[in-house]
């Protein structure tokens, strides 16, 4: 172990400094301000308070809290890996956002040969970052910080390319990111962990457990995610009633899944008690499940049902599917991302497709064609002119029917799963190279190889040993 | 104990799942979108950025942080009941909000046979939830999660009915909820704990104490509440200067009570040191005390004085009144809600009445009749027309004088205390039924009956015993 | 020790209550509402949603989280001084804000013999509070709460006077407060700690270290600061694109410094591992370094470079300069504020001066004269009229050239450092008076003298001793 951890001294700084030089060079060459951040674009006709920053920044800060405090605390649930969970999350997230600004900028915000930057790009980059952090959950405790950075380095471009291609060519509705964020992140992470399979860990690991304090910290992480999830699901919807509905549905979905999670946790626990891991994870399932249809007119009751369904699938996944995948398919999914993001993501996609099939002008009024932009009549269609009388700014669409839109959604689901799984597996092979200072099995779930730890870091363990030893003597 | 905790396995899931089926049925039958969330109501005349979500959502997220993180951490102050405090708060709050959406919807947001839903309903429901969580403070550590859910089930309708009746018939000013939230919650909670009296706990309990980490966690909870309290007190005021004043007064009141709390804590401590319980609770007294007059033109100095007075009452309550109530009146008020919400609430009501009596057009200008809507002249009064020249949208009122308004406030105080105390006592009798898995005295303030706890959860205790044992041997 | 801690019983309450009486008297005599909080100023021409509270309050709450939770958790990093770090931060901050409202009000918001109050004053006061808390970092663990309050009592007026004089007479650009906040706070704090020099502490102190939990708590503090720092740096900029750029640059600067901090931490650690103190502090350097030019058109790449430079200087400062200053110059800088605020502040000032020298109408368009108000042509200049055609509300300026403005910035840097260092030294002499209950060397970094601590507060220490003792026996 010594050899590996000392070797981090050279590798990690070299990687980070090289990457920073590359990033800053690309920033200097290609990144400039967008029309809301550039002083030259402000005239006596622009009202400062109409600047996009006031629409975007409140959602940005909420998502920041989720990324850095929510994920950070939640991933710190291991007894001896609290530094690792929280600090590697900090490192990986910071890098992923910077990298995503450039990569997404190249695909999506690129005109006149420049990437134009505003807070809206940061929000998009934080979504890419969320993808990386979800995938991180699959390999938590079994990877070095260098491996995590390399994973982010590879995952962000694959994600950005998929996102761009799906949005540009398949043109889907996915306000909460159920397809592009949750399914992508899940299957990418499973691909990685499949390759990084460690057979000994299936037999249990002495350090793979929680302490009283780490459990409480993880619940705080859950609560940060829970509280701000409506902002996550609504940050990129249309403004106005669409965003309002997205907030409402997310809150309702989360509430429903929370109650169901408590019910099932007690029911499935062998002592009829609450399991903290369920409180920390399964309660959040509803936030994912409402994602794909979150801005649609699905009705509050449907959001509630989606929350309950997502939670049930997630809970059963933790109980039965995860152990099965680990034993039979070599998929060691450390945080159970397949339950919290995969199964729930699939339910969400199905619900989104139903909502698309049922969407009609009766329910939405003419704004149907704003939410489902691709269903708007094509340029030249007389129906378009009629609609433009009602909604002056309406853009011509593709004249898709509900069924066509649904089929494109299905295509997007399969394409996303396919690309992400393959991308994850390939990334896994790269991460397996001996160069990246992966911890040995013994030092999994342990801060010691990567941090100067204070003397009390394993105090509870030592204490228990002491007490047990004394008990056995007595 | 074993028997009771295993019996939770059936009871809690059954309760939660039955409740969820009822809730979702009611949602499906009666809940729809309001004019700001329904796509059909948006026309080419509605500006998306004028949607109510942008006025309400920032306050909503602030209150969410208070409810889930603020209360959650603050209630986790017991050494062995950190899971209980934080997680039962999560469960109870989530349920109370859902339930309040329906019950308040029935009383207040009900037209055309439907409850119309937007973020504003969620804010109202979170206030109802705060009521339940405050009452929870009186019985913390002595109740099962099932008892807490039943308490919420009963308290929310009594609260919603009281709120509706007081606002509709007595028509009072109570922007910060001193009467309707704090007094109601306090006397309801005292009623419950009166019935759930446990004589043995008056002799002290081995687990009724804090640890170093739990004290720090509780301070974090306090700080979350402290930081966002201005949003709580101002969320439902009139927009503009009224909301601005509410924020200012709450901040000033809290600041004043914080300094006073530190002064009195050291002064009354037998070693001349700070008591953490005071830092955690008494510092917040000012937020309650300014409540009833928070949006009025009381002057910053008055807000400051209210903070100091509330804090002093609260501190003396903790020191002298609470032990007295426990010994003589069988009222075991675990978190001292009578000090932090009752005494301060009464001071706040008195201050509100003074502010109402002194309110005049000299100080408020014509907007007097916007803040005190019931003092606006009645329909047909020529004075009304004059005022409507100055404030075009002014609604006709009841032509109440300041004194009349003050009397109605007094009536509201007594009515609220009466209803809540009776409601609390009746609820207490129901909670006492053997069915609800109440922990035995030995297992009060203990996570073990309700959670799978990690092995180190009582490590500090064991450690002290070990060390003490060794010391005594040596 | 006993004698001193019991003597706090009289001193602290007396100080606090006397101060509160003074504050409330001054409030009553001199503080009133501003035009956005006073009901009388609202007419049928004022739109409530245009009230300044909606521009200021979101930034205010973000900064509140930084002050109370960010600083609070970060300063709680000592193993036995968690209460002290968090609670004294709470006390000192609350007092400093109240005091700053009055003192800054006297200098800056004073007309018609009254201080006019709105949320904007609170933001300004929180900046003054941040100054005090940064200085606090230099003497953390070595001062009684009374000393901290006296320090705030003295530092706030010196700061407010400097701020007022620099802004009124030197008229500088310093949106992020690099000069006025960070440099002032740093050199004031160093002045204080220079006088409070304790020779024994240079030999190391048994309690001057962290525990596993306290390190995690401090990282949470860092993350709160990191997440909301863009709000801090942008709260007082011009609205619109200026604020947008300030947010963007701060985020980029922090991101860059975070990656650099991880790289250097591993590189400079003797075991090639991460040092938690670096993760907690050095990652934040970029937020300071971008400060002075944060609202200017410096380009995203420059913000990135500033983050990297600031971080490097900060890290080298922690590694080499701080020990040197402690040994040779009697400057015991407990939290290394000279690295995180001094060195970075100086870099920031230099960068600001470069940005000022390079600022031209080519890059900024006519809004150059809005950002650099003092470069606007003087009253009567025909160029002013031309510009006013483009920007109707443009105010006449002083007609400064870029070079002149740069010279004024330089003057401000030296003036600020001079005043703050002298102020700090004088304050130090006052704090050294025996009256203020300073802890003895043995009780530094220890909660015990000031708090009723729970029995387990030094459990990890005892445990280690127990285990070590047993090991040595075995």
The model's pLDDT over C294-353, given as tens digits with 9 standing for 90+, comes to: 999 999 999 999 999 999 999 999 999 999 998 889 999 999 999 999 999 999 999 999
Residue B474 in any domain: the answer is no
Contact C27 B300 (CB under 8 A): yes
- A258 in reach of chain B (CB within 8 A): yes
Token representation of residue A403: 């069924």
In B, minimum Cα distance to A266 occurs at B9
Residue C471 in any domain: the answer is no
- C52 in reach of chain A (CB within 8 A): no
Interface of A with B in 364-403 (CB under 8 A): 364-365, 367-368, 371, 390-392
What pLDDT is stored for residue A201 in this prediction? Answer: 84
Residues of B in contact with A271 (CB under 8 A): 5-6, 9, 452
Residue C320 in any domain: the answer is yes
Chain A closest CA to C259's CA: distance in Å? 7
Given a contact cutoff of 8 angstroms between Cβ atoms, the answer to whether C104 and C125 are in contact is yes
Contact C260 A20 (CB under 8 A): yes
Residue C473 in any domain: the answer is no
Given a contact cutoff of 8 angstroms between Cβ atoms, the answer to whether C326 and C333 are in contact is yes
Residue B267 in any domain: the answer is yes
CB nearest A37 (choices: C245, C276, C283): C245
Q: Once rounded to an integer, what is the mean pLDDT over residues A437-450? A: 88
Q: Which residue range forms the structural domain that includes residue A191?
A: 2-358+401-464
DSSP E strands in A101-208: the ranges are 110-111, 114-117
CA angle C59, C65, C71 (to 5 degrees): 125
Given a contact cutoff of 8 angstroms between Cβ atoms, the answer to whether B374 and B405 are in contact is yes
CB nearest C240 (choices: A42, A86, A117): A42
Q: Once rounded to an integer, what is the mean pLDDT over residues A392-400? A: 86
pLDDT exceeds 90 at position C265: yes
In C, minimum Cα distance to B246 occurs at C37
d(CA A251, CA B119): 10
Residues of C in contact with A47 (CB under 8 A): 240
DSSP for B169-217 reads II----TT-IIIIIIHHHHHHHHHHHHT--GGGGG--TT-S--HHHHHH
Chain A closest CA to B305's CA: distance in Å? 34
Q: Is A46 exposed, middle or buried (0-12, 13-18, 19+ CB in 10 A)?
A: middle
CB nearest C219 (choices: A53, A86, A456): A86
In C, minimum Cα distance to A80 occurs at C212
Q: What are phi and psi of B235, to 5 degrees?
A: -60, -35
Q: Once rounded to an integer, what is the mean pLDDT over residues A258-262? A: 96
Token representation of residue C13: 């309450």
Interface of A with B in 143-172 (CB under 8 A): none
- C355 in reach of chain A (CB within 8 A): no
Residues of B in contact with C33 (CB under 8 A): 245, 248, 297, 300
Contact B32 A209 (CB under 8 A): no
Residues of A in contact with B454 (CB under 8 A): 79, 209-212, 215
When scoring C53, C59, C215 by the number of chain A Cβ atoms within 10 A, the one with the most, hence best to mutate, is C215
In B, minimum Cα distance to C211 occurs at B213
Token representation of residue B372: 């005190």
The CATH code of the domain that includes A346 is 1.10.3430.10
- C89 in reach of chain B (CB within 8 A): no
Chain B closest CA to C72's CA: distance in Å? 9
When scoring B53, B73, B461 by the number of chain A Cβ atoms within 10 A, the one with the most, hence best to mutate, is B53
Contact B455 A464 (CB under 8 A): yes
What pLDDT is stored for residue B9 in this prediction? Answer: 84
Q: Which of A263-272, B31-40, C457-466 shows the lowest mean pLDDT across its residues?
A: C457-466
Chain A closest CA to B382's CA: distance in Å? 40
Which residue numbers in chain B have pLDDT < 70? 1-6, 460-474
What pLDDT is stored for residue A3 in this prediction? Answer: 44
What pLDDT is stored for residue C206 in this prediction? Answer: 85
Residue A369 in any domain: the answer is no
Instruction: Please give the tally of structural domains in chain B.
Output: 1
- B52 in reach of chain C (CB within 8 A): no
Q: A185: pLDDT confidence band, cut at 50, 70 and 90?
A: very high
Q: What is the dihedral of CA C2, C6, C12, C15, to 10 degrees?
A: -110
The model's pLDDT over C54-75, given as tens digits with 9 standing for 90+, comes to: 999 999 999 999 999 999 999 9
The model's pLDDT over C342-395, given as tens digits with 9 standing for 90+, comes to: 999 999 999 999 999 999 888 898 888 888 988 999 988 888 888 888 888 888
- C266 in reach of chain A (CB within 8 A): yes
Question: In 10 A of CB A349, how many CB atoms?
Answer: 26
Tell which residue, C123, C145, C115, C149, has the closest CA to residue C20: C149
CA distances from C133 to A399, C151, C224, C288 (A): 60, 10, 15, 15
- B459 in reach of chain A (CB within 8 A): yes
Q: Where are the alpha helices (DSSP H) in C235-316?
A: 241-268, 276-281, 285-289, 300-316
pLDDT exceeds 60 at position A98: yes
Contact C57 B274 (CB under 8 A): no
pLDDT exceeds 90 at position A43: no
The model's pLDDT over C144-160, given as tens digits with 9 standing for 90+, comes to: 999 999 999 999 999 99
Contact A9 C239 (CB under 8 A): no
Interface of C with A in 273-292 (CB under 8 A): 273-276, 279, 283
Given a contact cutoff of 8 angstroms between Cβ atoms, the answer to whether C431 and C147 are in contact is yes
What pLDDT is stored for residue C59 in this prediction? Answer: 96
pLDDT exceeds 70 at position A464: no
Residue B231 in any domain: the answer is yes
What pLDDT is stored for residue A463 in this prediction? Answer: 59
> Across chain C, what does the average pLDDT equal?
90
- A79 in reach of chain B (CB within 8 A): yes
Token representation of residue B175: 């922007």
d(CA B327, CA B321): 10
pLDDT exceeds 80 at position C170: yes
Given the cut 0.90, state whether the ipTM is greater than it.
yes
CB nearest B248 (choices: C69, C117, C217): C117
Given a contact cutoff of 8 angstroms between Cβ atoms, the answer to whether C59 and C234 are in contact is yes
d(CA B120, CA B123): 5
CB nearest A83 (choices: C226, C227, C276): C276
What pLDDT is stored for residue A467 in this prediction? Answer: 53
What pLDDT is stored for residue A4 in this prediction? Answer: 46
Given a contact cutoff of 8 angstroms between Cβ atoms, the answer to whether C221 and C169 are in contact is no
Contact A247 B90 (CB under 8 A): no
What pLDDT is stored for residue C390 in this prediction? Answer: 83
The model's pLDDT over C196-246, given as tens digits with 9 standing for 90+, comes to: 999 888 888 888 889 999 999 999 999 999 999 999 999 999 999 999 999
DSSP E strands in B232-352: the ranges are none
Q: Once rounded to an integer, what is the mean pLDDT over residues C259-288? A: 94
């Amino acid at each position: 172990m010594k050899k590996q951890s000392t070797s981090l001294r050279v590798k990690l700084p070299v990687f980070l400094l090289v990457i920073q030089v590359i990033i800053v060079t690309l920033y200097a060459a290609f990144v400039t301000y967008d029309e809301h951040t550039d002083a030259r674009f402000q005239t006596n006709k622009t009202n400062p308070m109409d600047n996009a920053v006031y629409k975007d920044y409140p959602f940005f800060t909420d998502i920041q809290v989720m990324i850095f405090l929510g994920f950070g605390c939640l991933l710190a649930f291991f007894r001896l890996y609290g530094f690792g969970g929280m600090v590697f999350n900090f490192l990986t997230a910071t890098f992923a956002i910077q990298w995503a600004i450039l990569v997404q900028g190249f695909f999506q915000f690129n005109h006149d040969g420049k990437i134009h930057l505003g807070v809206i790009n940061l929000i998009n980059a934080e979504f890419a970052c969320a993808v990386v952090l979800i995938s991180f959950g699959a390999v938590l405790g079994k990877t070095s910080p260098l491996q995590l950075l390399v994973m982010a380095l590879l995952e962000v471009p694959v994600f950005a390319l998929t996102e761009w291609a799906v949005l540009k060519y398949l043109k889907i509705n996915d306000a909460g990111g159920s397809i592009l964020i949750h399914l992508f992140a899940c299957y990418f992470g499973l691909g990685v962990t499949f390759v990084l399979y460690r057979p000994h860990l299936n037999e249990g690991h002495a350090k793979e457990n929680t302490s009283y304090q780490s459990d409480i910290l993880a619940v705080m992480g859950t609560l940060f995610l829970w509280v701000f999830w409506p902002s996550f699901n609504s940050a990129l919807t249309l403004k106005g009633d669409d965003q309002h509905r997205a907030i409402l549905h997310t809150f309702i979905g989360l509430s429903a899944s929370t109650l169901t999670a408590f019910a099932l946790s007690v029911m499935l626990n062998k002592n009829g008690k609450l399991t903290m891991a369920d409180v920390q994870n399964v309660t959040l399932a509803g936030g994912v499940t409402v994602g794909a249809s979150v801005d649609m007119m699905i009705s509050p009751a449907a959001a509630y049902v989606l929350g309950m369904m997502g939670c049930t699938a997630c809970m059963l996944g933790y109980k039965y599917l995860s152990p099965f995948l680990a034993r039979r398919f070599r998929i060691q999914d450390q945080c159970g991302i397949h339950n919290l993001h995969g199964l729930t993501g699939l339910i969400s996609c199905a619900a989104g497709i139903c909502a698309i099939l049922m969407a009609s002008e009766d329910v939405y009024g003419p704004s149907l064609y704003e939410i489902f932009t691709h269903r708007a009549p094509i340029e030249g269609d007389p129906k378009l002119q009629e609609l433009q009388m009602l909604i002056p700014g309406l853009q011509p669409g593709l004249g898709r029917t509900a069924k066509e839109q649904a089929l494109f959604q299905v295509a997007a689901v399969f394409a996303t799963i396919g690309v992400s799984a393959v991308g994850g597996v390939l990334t896994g092979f790269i991460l397996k190279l001996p160069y990246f200072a992966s911890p040995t099995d013994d030092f999994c779930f342990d801060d010691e190889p990567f941090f100067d730890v204070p003397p009390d870091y394993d105090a509870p363990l030592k204490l228990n040993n002491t007490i047990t030893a004394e008990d056995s003597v007595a």
